[in-house]
Amino acid sequence: MKKIIALVLALVLAFGLVACNNGGDQSSTASGSSTASDASTASTGGDDSGDLITVGFSQVGAESAWRTANTKSIQEALTEENGFNLIFSDGQQKQEIQITALRSFIEQGVDYIAFSPTVESGWDDVLNEIKEADIPLILVDRTTDNPDESLYVTWMGSNFHEEGVRAGEWVIAYLEDKGLMDGEVVIAELQGTVGAAAATDRMAGFKEVMDQYSNINIKYSQTGDFTTAKGQEVMEAFLKSDTANEIKVLFAHNDDMAIGAITAIEAAGRKPGEDICIISCDGGKAMFQNIVDGKANCVVECNPLLGEGLADVIKKLEAGEEVEKKTYSEEDIFDQNGLAGALKAADHINERAY
Ligand code: GZL
């Protein structure tokens, strides 16, 4: 009997040790897996998750190559590795979708709200709701028409009016260089989204230059909503008019509409870049290729890469630092020769972000 008890005790002791050892192993494994599990705990919202800065971003939509590059830039900058928890919403170019997203960010109690307003007006209520919720607001890219600068901490983006002026000045230099300034010069314009700051201000800047010349007539001007399909459709309609042959220049508020217009011009049997001078804003690879191929003449750059700037400004705010109220992107103008110097578009295609 004693032997049996001793055996049982030995067995219990042996299993106990094993268990303990396993425990030890487990603890060592655990310490290995606990490191792993610690790590996995941290990434699945352990104590450290509170350190992530939660940012709600309401994007205009996905209407153009520029917008896609802008979205990519924001998503690549506001990563968990960078200390952010990004809640991203695609507005599908509809203000009501953006307003719903902004209100949802307020309800979620995000740390920051950032957005690019698809149009300038109609935001007053939600901007005040964000202020009342005491959530810092950062405007990215487009702007609103609300003059109360206390409603947002900072804005970053492009000087759209300046882009329009640059386009206008380039067109005048082109027309003078080609000897086309004698007599009436008919211009067609593809406007961006009606009510969008980028469209309103580019149109105003361009018109400010054209109005200085009594022989210049912006005879055709209609919105292509910043999309290739709509740009092609509207250009087709322009080309069907009985005075279409008079059109010497097309100013498109973005590359995508210009690309649609080039398709329409070729289908109508005319040569884009020769019969009709083509100038657009943005500066993606496709438009640079059109310049290289002689189907377009000039691009006024509009920089979509705003993600790093957004991440930097939030980090500064977190550190209690002062930030500028407005930050403008550095931008250039590219053509095969002329105003921007003898820049060969081909040399820049690989540098382009999109
Ligand atoms: C400009 C941006 C415009 C681009 C278009 O900053 O808001 O919207 O020029 C885009 O390509 O659709």
For 180-225, what is each residue's pLDDT tens digit?
A: 999 999 999 999 999 999 999 999 999 999 999 999 999 999 999 9
Task: Report the nearest atom of ligand 1 relative to the CA of 253.
Answer: 9
What distance, in Å, lies between the first and last C-alpha atoms of the chain? 85
Q: Give the pLDDT confidence of 114-123 residue by residue, as tens digits.
A: 999 999 999 9
Q: Are residues 104 and 252 in the same domain?
A: no
Q: Are residues 165 and 184 in the same domain?
A: yes
Residue showing tokens 């290729």: 289
Q: Are residues 191 and 212 in the same domain?
A: yes
Separation of CA 166 and ligand 1 centre (Å): 16
Q: Are residues 171 and 292 in the same domain?
A: yes
Which residue's CA is minimally distant from atom 2 of ligand 1?
198
Mutate to test the pocket of ligand 1, among 73, 139, 161, 254 (most ligand atoms within 8 A of CB): 254
- Is residue 192 in a domain? yes
pLDDT at 95 over 80: yes
Which residue's CA is minimally distant from atom 8 of ligand 1?
67
Q: Give the pLDDT confidence of 266-321 residue by residue, as tens digits.
A: 999 999 999 999 999 999 999 999 998 999 999 999 999 999 999 999 999 999 99
Q: Mean pLDDT lowest for which of 40-54, 92-106, 184-198, 245-259? A: 40-54
pLDDT grade, residue 31 (50/70/90)?
Answer: very low
Separation of CA 63 and ligand 1 centre (Å): 9
- Residue with the bigger pLDDT between 339 and 288: it is 288
Q: Identify the pLDDT of residue 45.
A: 32
Distances from the Cα of 89 to the Cα of 104, 113, 114, 136, 327, angstroms = 10, 11, 11, 18, 23
The radius of gyration computed from the CA coordinates of the chain, to the nearest angstrom, equals 29
Separation of CA 118 and ligand 1 centre (Å): 10
Number of domains into which the chain is organized:
2
Q: Give the pLDDT confidence of 122-157 residue by residue, as tens digits.
A: 999 999 999 999 999 999 999 999 999 999 999 999
- Is residue 273 in a domain? yes
Q: Identify the pLDDT of residue 24.
A: 32
- Chain centre to alpha carbon of residue 31: 45
Distances from the Cα of 145 to the Cα of 27, 58, 105, 151, 197, angstroms = 61, 17, 22, 12, 8
Q: Are residues 126 and 192 in the same domain?
A: no
CATH number at residue 45: 3.40.50.2300
Which residue's CA is minimally distant from atom 1 of ligand 1?
198
Q: Identify the pLDDT of residue 20.
A: 34
Q: Are residues 189 and 337 in the same domain?
A: yes
Using a 6 Å CB cutoff, which residues line ligand 1? 63-64, 66-67, 141-142, 157-158, 198, 226, 254, 256, 281-282, 302
Q: Are residues 230 and 242 in the same domain?
A: yes
55 lies in which domain range? 23-156+304-323
pLDDT at 23 over 50: no
Separation of CA 2 and ligand 1 centre (Å): 89
Mutate to test the pocket of ligand 1, among 142, 162, 226, 285 (most ligand atoms within 8 A of CB): 226
Mutate to test the pocket of ligand 1, among 64, 71, 163, 230 (most ligand atoms within 8 A of CB): 64
Separation of CA 61 and ligand 1 centre (Å): 10
- Is residue 6 in a domain? no
Which residue's CA is minimally distant from atom 3 of ligand 1?
198
Structure tokens at 63: 């209407």
pLDDT grade, residue 352 (50/70/90)?
Answer: confident
Residues 34-41, mean pLDDT to the nearest whole number: 31
Q: Identify the pLDDT of residue 6.
A: 52
- Chain centre to alpha carbon of residue 259: 19
Q: Are residues 30 and 47 in the same domain?
A: yes
d(CA 155, CA 265): 38
- Is residue 17 in a domain? no
Q: Are residues 72 and 181 in the same domain?
A: no
Q: Give the pLDDT confidence of 150-179 residue by residue, as tens digits.
A: 999 999 999 999 999 999 999 999 999 999
pLDDT grade, residue 109 (50/70/90)?
Answer: very high
Separation of CA 39 and ligand 1 centre (Å): 41
Sequence-separated contacts (24+) of 177-186 with Cβ below 8 Å = 177/338, 180/248, 181/213, 181/215, 182/215, 183/215, 184/215, 184/216, 184/217, 184/246, 185/213, 185/215, 185/216, 185/217, 185/248, 185/249, 186/217, 186/219, 186/220, 186/243, 186/246, 186/247, 186/248
- Is residue 292 in a domain? yes
pLDDT grade, residue 346 (50/70/90)?
Answer: confident
- Is residue 354 in a domain? no
Structure tokens at 105: 């960010």
Q: Which amino acid is at 251?
A: F
pLDDT at 49 over 80: no
Q: Are residues 103 and 248 in the same domain?
A: no
Q: Are residues 139 and 176 in the same domain?
A: no
The reported pTM is: 0.85
Separation of CA 66 and ligand 1 centre (Å): 6
Whether the Cβ atoms of residue 64 and residue 255 lie closer than 8 Å to each other:
yes
Separation of CA 192 and ligand 1 centre (Å): 8
Whether the Cβ atoms of residue 134 and residue 160 lie closer than 8 Å to each other:
no
Separation of CA 173 and ligand 1 centre (Å): 25
Q: Are residues 44 and 192 in the same domain?
A: no
- Chain centre to alpha carbon of residue 343: 25
pLDDT grade, residue 353 (50/70/90)?
Answer: confident
Task: Report the nearest atom of ligand 1 relative to the CA of 63.
Answer: 12
pLDDT at 338 over 60: no
Across the chain, what does the average pLDDT equal?
A: 87
Q: Which amino acid is at 227?
A: T
- Is residue 13 in a domain? no
